[in-house]
Amino acid sequence: MLDPRITGRIQYAQDQHMPGMLHARILRSPYAHARIVSINTAAVPRDVVCLTRDDVTDLEPLYGPMVKDQPVVARERVLHVGDSVVAVAAPTLREAEAALEAVEVEYEEMTGVFDPVEAAGDSSPVLHESLDYPPDLRPDGRNVCHRFRLQSGLGEDGFAGADVVMEEAFSIAGAAHVPMEPHATLAYWEGGRLHVITGTQTPFNVRRDLAALFRLPEERVRVVVAPMGGSFGAKTFMRLEAVTAALARKSGRPVRAVLTRAEEFVTSTVIRRVFESALEPSEMGPSSPRALMRGGTQVHTPIAVQAFARRGVTRRLVRTGSLTSLSIRAASTPTIRRRGHFAAMRRRRACGLRSA
C-alpha cells in the first residue's frame, strides 16, 4: 500500500473538516504599539461570528507556558504589528475575508519599542505591566523579564594574554521556518468538553494551557495532533488554538483557522539577533527564559578559545514590540525564539573576537 503522503490522501491539520464548520480569519494590528480606542462590528453580516475583547472577559486574561503575557485577542493595547485584534468565523473563507473588511477599529498610536538596548533602559515605554512571574525568573519591573549570568573561564587574564582583542557589534538577519503546511487548527465543543485538532509539537502543553485559559479541568480538553507538514520548532505551545477555541465556543459550531503565508511571517517566524555589550537576548517567547539559560551555556566563538572570558557574561531577556518568533530546531543554541527581536549581546571574547 502506498504511503498516503505520496498519494495525497493524508489529512493534515489544514485538511480537517466537520459538518457545519466555519472558517476563521483574524484582523491584525497595523501598528507596533497602539491603544485600541474602539471596535465597531455593526457592518459585519449577521451570519458571521465576531470575537472581540468583550467576548473573552470570562476567560483568564493572559496565557503562556512560562510567563502569562499573551491575550486571546488584544484588550487595551496592541504590542506588535500583526497582533490579533478581532477574529471572525464565516461559512466560507471568502465571507470571512469580507467580514474583516467590515470591521472598524480606531487606534491611538503609541511610541514603539524596537531596539533591545533602548527597551532595557528607563526611558522606554513599558510593554507589559503587573505580570506574574515564576519565582525562578528575575524581572526588573520594566521590559527586562529575566537575567541569566554565567561565570567561568579566565576572565580579564584571558584578555590580557590575547594576541588580538576586537570590539564590534553584529546584527544577524531574520529567518523563518517556512514549513510547507502553515499553522492550522480545528476546534469544537461537545458536552462542555473542548476538542482541538491541531498541528503541534507540544500537545500536552497545549492542553494544559487551554484548560487554564478556559478554566476547565484538563480532562475536559482533548488535543488531537494531526500529521504535520513540517514544523522545525514553529508549532510549539499555543498558537492558533486559543482564538479558534474561543470562536467555536461563541458560535457553537466547529471552527477551522489556517494562517496564510503572509501571516506566518508576521506572527510566528521572524527572528533577529543583535550582539552588543552584555549578551542580552531580547525576545518574548513561550519558554524564552528557559531558552535564555540554555543558550547561555552555548555561546560559541568562531575559533576554539581556551581563554574565553565567560566570567561576567550576562544575558537579559528584553521585551520589544517587534514581530513575533519561535524556536527553530533547538532551544536557543542561540538561534530563534518568540515575540520581539532575539537580541543576544555578548560582553567579550578573547583570542580573535571580542563583541561589545
List pLDDT tens digits, range 78-95.
988 899 999 999 999 999
Rounded Cα distance, 243 and 186, in Å:
11
Q: What is the pLDDT of residue 299?
A: 47
Q: Is 38 exposed, middle or buried (0-12, 13-18, 19+ CB in 10 A)?
A: exposed
Residue ranges of the chain with pLDDT lower than 70? 141, 148-155, 168-174, 268-356
3-state helix, strand, coil split of the chain in percent (to 5) is 20, 25, 55
Strand 170-172 and strand 193-198: pairing?
Answer: unpaired
Distance CA 180, CA 197 (A): 18
Cα–Cα distance measured from residue 40 to residue 336, given in angstroms and rounded to the nearest whole number: 37
Grid cell 522606554 in the structure block, residue:
124
* Angstrom distance (rounded) from CA 288 to CA 6: 37
Looking at residue 323, its pLDDT comes to 59
- Angle at the Cα of 70 (from 67 to 74), degrees rounded to 5? 155
Classify 244 as helix, strand or coil: helix
pTM for the complete prediction?
Answer: 0.79
Assess contact for 271 and 334: CB atoms under 8 A: no
How far lies 174's CA from each of 171, 277, 315, 348, in Å? 9, 20, 20, 24
**What is the C-alpha separation between 346 and 356, in angstroms, rounded?**
6
Q: What is the CA radius of gyration of the chain?
A: 22
**Which DSSP state fits 39?**
E
Q: Looking at residue 290, what is its pLDDT?
A: 55
Rounded to 5°, the CA angle 211-213-217 comes to 25
How are beta strands 313-318 and 273-275 bridged, if at all? unpaired
